[in-house]
């Protein structure tokens, strides 16, 4: 077996491996006694926002009747790199992206990943599983992106362009892992660089790709085909307790040091542990840490000013607070002595880099006159500057402030117009949820009677395409939300297993974790309520859509264009930023209506991705193959009562569905008593 030390790829590659090995000796974590833990000893395995349940539910696996939801058990970043040939990991500043990338490169270079599996906590409830690599002879090429660059230019800089000879790699039994760190530094050219890297990986059978980037920048990029994206999670309390005991002999559980929410960020965890701070807020962590290293207020002020200059690019000393998150925290403290205009100017030039700084500044100003001046400065200007400023200003404004209504109008525009990036729209929607989302989340679209093309040859379970006629009906513009389903739960005391169904910032997200029977019960309840309110006539009923009704609302009169063409609500070609599918990278539900580019011909949102939506139609008892095939017929498939093993149809795909499933024609299914965080529903109103 070839080892990294025996890699026959030439001197340039040997230099790359030597640099990767050296990463293990780089300083990582300053300890309270003044010593420093290096990367090899101090690295803490990072988790990502992908759970064991998510993996099982990719195929809408069989769920036990009335089963209780399992606590989330997360995969590690290492495992996701292992399982995906092309992957991008995103995280906020200080989340450990570079530490993970360099730890992985170092361990690959010295062969350390061939050692025994490591036990890793997967949640704070006691779940622990071994972390395994299970890939042989993988050697790294680690590269830091420093600006707008092409992949060829990066490979030329490292002198490794010539090593990508597929036959030579096969003969040597070697796979190369390209690691692109700080890919957000490519700026506007970042999506192109990522696409080039993924295309290069796909073209070489012995090449894998790992890219890492700042979440506020990279999350808005379109995701190339065959590339997945996951977010790094904050450190668990369990991880922090174990790391402190292992590295410094500290008992954090007893002292309560570094166990607050803000210390989940790895950079802030290191600062909190060094300062002996509880870690509840980033500002308290910063003040304790800078007081410890500075010794007096004057020196502390000088250090904060230097950090501001370094973050603004006015200092070229890479050793001066090399961790970006530390620079941001200190810069926020520095700006408390500056004018509002001076604080906002760097944010307008580089919003992703400076948004965390102004959030920290806002918390320090605490709603006083200085905070109002900062809000006014953020709302000045025009175009996207104002929208980004309003999004940030929402973190500053108090409930009683006269500026709040003005900010809310901008937030609503971000959501309804599809402005800014999808993560920014989700942030705006969460704020609106807390403040009171003014949209009519129960609005209905009128669907006229007609004959349309139903089905597709793009999947055997959806074939053949054929003509179906439906009568007139109304359908929810949005999936039923937590706010509205929660009202039903509060009135009926029905069991609801959703962990965030009543969260204030998720009231405008789709209701999930509910069964087909739950959805039907809601429809019956809403029928009586709306009749009493006069919203629907006495002969109208609220119910779930049939399969043809759902597809009619989703595709309109779009015809079938052959077995190679998938029909989406917006047309026959895939569009980026049109749906909360796997390509969007959320890996969870978001507020409804965030993707206006993806509206159906009748104005319905979220009919591709977001949540699988229950239909009335029967599927059968075999998950893989429907008993009720096409053509659609009056053959008992709309029977309201069937045994618990007879599955009901689900439509539209969900947040973890790729573009082959998040469309108008793909059919899923689940038992009527099954539920999952990726399943929801929308209502139909029709004559009884």
Instruction: For residue range 495-551, list pLDDT tens digits in order.
Output: 999 999 999 999 999 999 999 999 999 999 999 999 999 999 999 999 999 999 999
Would you place residue 61 in the very low, low, confident or very high pLDDT band (cuts 50, 70, 90)? Answer: very low
Instruction: Give the pLDDT of residue 1.
Output: 38
> At the top level of CATH, which class does the domain 444-687 belong to?
alpha beta
Q: Looking at the predicted structure, is the pLDDT value of residue 160 above 90?
A: no
Say what the pLDDT of residue 554 is: 98
Q: Which two tokens stand for residue 560?
A: 């079938």
CA distance 100 to 77: 8
Span 4-231 CATH architecture:
3-Layer(aba) Sandwich (3.40)
Render pLDDT for 432-447 as a digit per residue (tens, 0 to 9).
Answer: 999 999 999 999 999 9
CA distances from 344 to 314, 363, 382 (A): 17, 15, 14
What percent of the chain has pLDDT above 90?
A: 78
Tell me the pLDDT tens digit for each residue of 482-493: 999 999 999 999
Q: Beta 175-181 vs 138-144: how paired, if at all?
A: parallel
pTM: 0.80
Model confidence band, residue 301 (pLDDT cutoffs 50, 70, 90):
very high
Decide: 267 and 323 in contact? Cβ < 8 Å.
Answer: yes
Strand-pair category, 612-620 with 679-680: parallel
Q: Where are the domains of the chain?
A: 4-231, 250-435, 444-687
Confidence of residue 66 (pLDDT cuts 50, 70, 90): very low
pLDDT of res. 30: 80
Torsion sign across C-alpha atoms 621, 623, 627, 631: positive
Element (H, E) at 651: strand 647-651
Note whether 685 and 473 are within 8 A (CB).
yes
Summarised one tens digit per residue, pLDDT across range 637-661 is 999 999 999 999 999 999 999 999 9
């Amino acid at each position: 077996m070839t080892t990294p030390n025996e890699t026959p790829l030439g001197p340039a590659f040997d230099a790359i491996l030597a640099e990767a090995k050296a990463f293990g000796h780089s300083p990582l974590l300053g300890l309270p006694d003044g010593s420093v833990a290096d990367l090899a000893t101090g690295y803490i395995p990072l988790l990502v926002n992908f759970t064991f349940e998510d993996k099982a539910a990719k195929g809408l696996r069989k769920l036990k009747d009335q089963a209780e939801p399992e606590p989330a058990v997360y995969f590690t970043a290492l495992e996701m790199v292992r399982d995906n040939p092309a992957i991008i990991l995103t995280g906020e500043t200080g989340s450990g992206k570079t530490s993970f990338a360099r730890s992985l490169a170092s361990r690959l270079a010295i062969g350390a990943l061939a050692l025994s599996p490591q036990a890793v906590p997967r949640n704070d409830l006691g779940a622990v599983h071994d972390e395994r690599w299970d890939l042989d002879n993988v050697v790294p090429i680690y590269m830091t992106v420093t600006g707008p660059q092409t992949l060829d230019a990066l490979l030329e800089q490292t002198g490794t362009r010539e090593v990508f000879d597929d036959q030579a790699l096969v003969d040597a039994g070697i796979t190369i892992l390209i690691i692109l760190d700080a890919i957000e530094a490519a700026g506007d050219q970042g999506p192109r660089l990522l696409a080039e890297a993924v295309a290069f990986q796909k073209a070489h059978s012995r090449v894998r790709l790992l890219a890492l980037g700042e979440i506020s920048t990279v999350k808005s990029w379109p995701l190339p085909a065959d590339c997945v994206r996951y977010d790094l999670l904050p450190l668990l309390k369990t991880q922090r307790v174990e790391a402190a005991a292992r590295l410094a002999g500290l008992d954090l559980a007893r002292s309560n040091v570094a166990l607050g929410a803000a210390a989940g960020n790895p950079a802030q965890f290191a600062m909190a542990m060094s300062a002996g701070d509880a870690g509840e807020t980033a500002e308290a962590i910063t003040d304790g840490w800078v007081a410890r290293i500075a010794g007096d207020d004057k020196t502390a002020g000088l250090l904060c000013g230097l950090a501001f200059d370094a973050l603004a690019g006015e200092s070229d000393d890479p050793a001066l607070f090399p961790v970006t998150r530390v620079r941001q925290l200190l810069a926020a403290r520095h700006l408390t002595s500056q004018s509002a205009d001076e604080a906002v100017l760097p944010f307008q030039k580089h919003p992703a880099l400076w948004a965390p700084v102004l959030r920290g500044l806002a918390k320090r100003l605490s709603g006083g006159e200085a905070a109002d001046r900062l809000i006014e400065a953020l709302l000045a200007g025009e175009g996207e500057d104002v929208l980004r400023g309003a999004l940030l200003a929402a973190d500053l404004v108090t409930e009683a402030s006269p500026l709040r209504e003005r900010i809310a109008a901008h937030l609503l525009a971000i959501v309804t117009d599809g402005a800014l990036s999808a993560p920014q729209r989700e942030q705006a929607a969460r704020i609106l949820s807390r403040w009171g989302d003014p949209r009519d989340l129960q609005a209905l679209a009128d669907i006229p009677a007609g004959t349309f093309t139903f089905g597709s040859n793009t999947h055997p379970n959806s074939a053949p395409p054929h003509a179906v006629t439906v009568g007139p009906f109304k359908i929810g513009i949005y999936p039923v939300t937590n706010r509205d389903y929660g009202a039903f739960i509060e009135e009926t005391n029905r069991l609801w297993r959703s962990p965030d169904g009543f969260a204030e910032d998720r009231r405008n997200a789709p209701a999930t974790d509910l069964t087909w029977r739950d959805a039907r019960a809601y429809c019956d309840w809403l029928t009586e309520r709306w009749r009493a309110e006069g919203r629907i006539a006495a002969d109208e009923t609220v119910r779930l859509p049939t399969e043809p009704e759902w597809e009619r609302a989703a595709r309109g009169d779009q015809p079938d264009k052959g077995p190679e063409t998938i029909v989406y609500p917006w047309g026959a070609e895939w569009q980026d930023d049109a749906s909360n599918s796997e390509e969007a990278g959320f890996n969870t539900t978001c507020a409804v209506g965030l993707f206006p580019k993806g509206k159906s011909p009748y104005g319905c949102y979220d009919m591709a991705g977001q949540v699988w939506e229950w239909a009335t139609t029967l599927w059968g008892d075999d998950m893989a193959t429907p008993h009720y095939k096409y053509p659609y017929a009056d053959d008992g498939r709309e029977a309201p009562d069937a045994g618990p093993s007879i599955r009901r149809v689900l439509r539209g795909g969900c947040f973890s569905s790729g573009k082959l499933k998040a469309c108008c024609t793909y059919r899923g299914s689940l038992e009527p008593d099954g539920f999952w965080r990726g399943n929801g529903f929308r209502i139909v109103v029709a004559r009884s």
